[in-house]
Each structure stands twice: as C-alpha cells, then as structure tokens.
Amino acid sequence: MSERTKRVRVRFAPSPTGYLHIGGARTAIYNWIFARKHKGDFILRIEDTDAERSTAESIEGILDGLRWLGIDWDEGPYFQSANIDAHKKAAMRLIELGHAYRCFCTKEELDTKRDTAKALKQPYKYDRTCRDLSPAKAAEMEARGIPYVVRFKTPDSEDTLVFNDLVYGPIEKHYDDIEDFVILRSDGSPLYLLSNAVDDMNDGITHVIRGQDGLANTPRQILIYKALGMQPPEFAHMPLTLDLRKQKISKRTHGEVVSVQFYREHGFLPWALVNFLVLLGWHTPDDREIFTREELIEAFSLEGVSRANSIFNYRPGDPKFFTDPKAISINAHYIRTMPIEDLAGYVKEELKATGCFDPEYDGPKRHWFLETLDLIRARYHTLKDFATLGRAYFSDEFSVDEKAFAKNILKHPDLREWLPVLAERLSAIPIWDQVATEAAIRGFIDETGASSGVIINAVRTVVTGQSVGPGLFDCLVAIGRERVVKRLKNAPLLIDNHLD
C-alpha cells in the first residue's frame, strides 16, 4: 500500500444488467477484505448509465447477493447515473485545458477508413482528422448543428506511459499505441472510461481492484486523471476465472451456475462461498484453504494474488458435482464444523421451504433437533441434503434412495416376514436407547439365523431411506420408536412396490 494515503478507499462498481455472478462477487470480496484489512472504506457504486439494460430487479439482486454473502459496505449504494452532469463537465473541462477536442467525423467516414485499413491488413487507429481544428472552426461547426463526439487528445510523444500494477508489476504502454479515444458520444452521453475515472476521483478512491480484463483501460484512465490534475489511484488487476475449456466464466456462456443466487438455492452457506471465491486467484504461502472472517482479513494481501488465470472446475451434467468440487468440499467442511446453533438456523429455512419443519424444533424439541443435526451432518455437502438425504428424520414422507435398491439390500425373500416381527420386538423394549435397540436387533438376528448385514442394512434402508449414514442404533434412537416401528411394519409394502 502506498504511503501517500492515510486511509484506504476502494469500491465495487457493478453494472446492474443481470444477477450478481461469481466473478463480480469475487471482485467485491477482494475489495471488501482489502478495506477491512487496512481499516479503510468499502464503497458500493452502481454503474447504471446503460438505461436499456439496467433494471431495478438487477440492482436489488446485486444488493441482496452482497448482503447474503455478508459483504457490508461503508458508503452507498451510489448511482453513476446521478453524476452524468459531472462527467459531461469533466469532458468540457478537458477541452478547455487542451486535453480533448470535438470530433465531427461521421460514422460513414470512420467506417470507410476502417474498411480501408482492413483491406490493407493494417490495424485501424483514428487518424486525428479533427485534432487540429481551430477553436473558431470547431465552434462554427458546432453552431451549424453538426454532430460531434469528444475525443481525448493522447500526448503526441514517442515516450511510454508507465504504471505499477500491484499484481502484474510495471506496465508500459507506448503513447503511439493509444488512439485519441472517445469520452463523450454524439448524443452527449459519457463513455465508461470517463465516467468511471471521474467517479473514482470524486469518491476519493485510492485503490482500484478489478479483473484483468480491465487492464487494457487503465492507461487511458490514467491519462484522464493526469489531464484533470489528479493523481491516479493504485491499480491491482486480478486474474480471470476460466472453465476447464479455458473459456472465461460469464453469464452468457455458463448461465445460472455462475450466479450467486444459484449457490444460495443449492444449499451453500454464505461464508463457504466467500471462502471458495477468495481462493480463485489467491493463495497463502502454506496453501491453507479454510479461513474464518477474521483469519481471512488478517491473511489477505495483494501479494498473494496470482498472475495466472484461475480455473473454475465446473462440470456440466455431473449431478454430484453440479459445480466446482472444491466449492462443494469447502461447503461440506463448514456444515460439519460450524457451531450447531448456527447450522440450525440455515437448516430450519431449508426444512421450512420443503414443508418438513416442526415449530416445536424451536421449542420443546429443540434439544432433539440440535442433536439430530449433529448426528447426520457428517456426510452432507449442502443444506439441501438435510431435506433430501435426511428427510426421514423430520418427516414420514420420504423416498428411498435408488442406490439402495441397486445394491439389492431388500432382495432377501424373508425380509417381508422378518421386518414386521422385528417391529413388534422393538415396540416392546422398555427403554428406547442405543443399548436396548442394539440388543433387540442382535437378539433377533441370533434367533432367526439371519445375516447381520442383511438385517442391519435392510432396517437402515427402510427406516432412513438411505443405505449409508451414521451408526444404525444412533439413527433409530433419533428417529424415535413410533416412527421406526411404523416403518418396519410397512416394509413389505415398500419392498413389493419397488422389487416386484
């Protein structure tokens, strides 16, 4: 961080043209962490000047996504559209200072020049036709109502513009390679390059942390800063996020799987997603991957941001890994390890959404609810799993995993007779605990001469709907005597429906 500033001020400035996607979320997270680490300000600015594509729904989607992730902002949201007059004044000021000029070239004239350059297999660059128009001539043409754009006057020099990127290091750009670029359209509307730079100046932004695809704009924005007599902020460009085919992750190419809302709807914990997104392009020297909020703020530095593009290991068509497996693994870690009271709040919402939350889980059954969540969470990867794989603990309306039938767990011909009899045995034991249920089941196995594997696996499948899970006797106690007995008595019908 530069010593020239006493207080860090960074911003996240999304365009509200769709949902908050993971690339935008990562940019917001990096800025937010940087501000928190340096006890600075994180500013939210909505760049909504594209009236045709910007929508109120998209704006709310961005705000809601940030709130869900736990990314709080210190100022804003500001709206770029409110500052258009300031952008236009800046363009006029640049003309007055001799750093910009009115260009009256028509679209047809410019298209002809581009076509000529293409035919000659030469790169096109505006030839500065209007650069040296006298003020009087420009005023006369403007008075006649001839449309014009405002172009920035790139320094006429053989030197290079040099700046230091906090990720990529020293960057050089020859002035000859920068054409006189447009900053104001013929309809008077400012372009992004101008609006973004002016807003950053007005907001006192000290560090611009954004994606690597913004690097091409940086030399031109630095020229605007300097022409207006302002010191540019420091720049840090993050690597792009690519898929396995080395294509840039985007809304258009990858659809909803790159939406923050997608992860929310698919049972991700907010901080788990933050933790995963931070790792897309940043690492610590010890390759650590799990961080609390405080640990991440302490550990983060721009020096740890990689110059190499990161890979989002998205596997379309794979139902198990509907997104990057590392993201699922991190989410599973938090489900297994977070305080059970915190987890209960998230699971409550999931069970409510699927119609199997009992209000007593917040009252008389609270202790049972927490103990049950703690019992079953070890194998779960998302919050969805509690309402699908674990549904049998909270509702009598649950399905049996087809994998259990594929393993032929219920194929033994005597199970139709055995399981109802076992139900009667379990209904008669005086105490419903792990010791008593295990003793009853193992005693039944000894009496019938059945294989313990056949009985135990069948009981698990019929009672929980799953062929794997926590210890069977812990499961039976959690589900309760009444439900266990009822399900074992109904086992013949279940077996007939699936195997006959």
- Residue 253 near residue 12, CB atoms below 8 Å: no
Calpha distance 394→388 (Å, rounded) = 10
Length of the chain: 500
| CB-count exposure of residue 448 (10 Å: 0-12, 13-18, 19+) | middle
Neighbouring-strand partners of residue 44: 12
Per-residue DSSP letters for 413-452?
Answer: TTHHHHHHHHHHHHHH-SS-SHHHHHHHHHHHHHHHT--H
- Residue 225 near residue 235, CB atoms below 8 Å: no
Calpha distance 330→279 (Å, rounded) = 11
- The one catalytic residue among 37, 113, 226, 251: 251
Calpha distance 461→458 (Å, rounded) = 5
**Using H for helix, E for strand and C for coil, what is the string for 318-333?**
CCCCCCCHHHHHHHHH
**How many Cβ atoms from other residues are within 10 Å of residue 296's Cβ?**
21
Calpha distance 331→328 (Å, rounded) = 5
- The helix, strand and coil proportions of the chain, stated in percent and rounded to the nearest 5, come to 50, 10, 35
- Residue 308 near residue 334, CB atoms below 8 Å: no
In degrees rounded to 5, what are phi and psi of residue 458? -65, -45
Strand, helix or coil for residue 41: strand
Give the C-alpha distances (Å, rounded to integers) separating 9 from 40, 136, 282, 293: 6, 43, 21, 20
Beta strand 207-211 with 234-238 is parallel
Of 12, 14, 18, 13, which Cα lies nearest the Cα of 55? 18
Strand, helix or coil for residue 217: helix
> Where do the DSSP E strands lie in 56-168?
75-79, 100-103, 149-152, 160-165
Edge-to-edge strand list for the sheet holding 75-79: 9-12, 41-46, 75-79
Neighbouring-strand partners of residue 210: 237
Concerning whether 489 is annotated as a catalytic residue, the answer is no
Beta strand 207-211 with 41-46 is unpaired
Catalytic residues: 251
